[in-house]
Amino acid sequence: MNLDGLASGFGTLALPAAFRGRPDPVGDAGTLRVRTPSGGLHVWYRNTWPGLRFRCSTGSGGRTTPAWQVDVRADGGYIVAPGTRIAQGVHRAEDPVRTPAPSPCGRGTNSCVPVT
């Protein structure tokens, strides 16, 4: 597989989705998506699987991240909500959707990293 041209989490998130025949989460307008002042994008999902927890991870290393440059905030983590103003600017919702959709991750999907 040619990985030339992958420069950010946008491409590396699309790659495993395409590999599994799933839609790219970056374009999922059915869930809350928040644009950061630096141009990043937070795609929010909620875990609907009782008893299944996901760990926080950063996309720069380790075996717990789903893809390079893709961070996960989950059990024990936090994320900045839309409308929050920081020194660099405001975190803004991308679409009219204001609630996280059910996660595409879960038992049997092999598309996310569960806590072991």
- Segment 74-101, tens digit of pLDDT: 777 888 889 999 999 999 999 999 998 8
**Tens of pLDDT, residue by residue, the chain (116 residues):** 556 666 666 777 677 777 777 777 788 888 899 999 998 888 888 888 777 777 777 766 556 666 666 777 777 788 888 999 999 999 999 999 999 888 776 544 444 544 43
What pLDDT shows up at residue 113?
45
Find residue 89's DSSP bridge partners.
Answer: 86
Q: Are strands 101-102 and 92-93 parallel, antiparallel or unpaired?
A: unpaired
> pTM of this prediction?
0.72
Integer angstrom CA distances of residue 8 from 39, 46, 85? 11, 24, 24
- Are 58 and 74 in contact by the 8 Å Cβ rule? The answer is no
Averaged pLDDT of the chain? 76
**Structure token pair of residue 6:** 């992958």
Provide, rounded to the nearest whole percent, the portion of the chain with pLDDT above 70: 70
Token pair, residue 11, equals: 């491409």
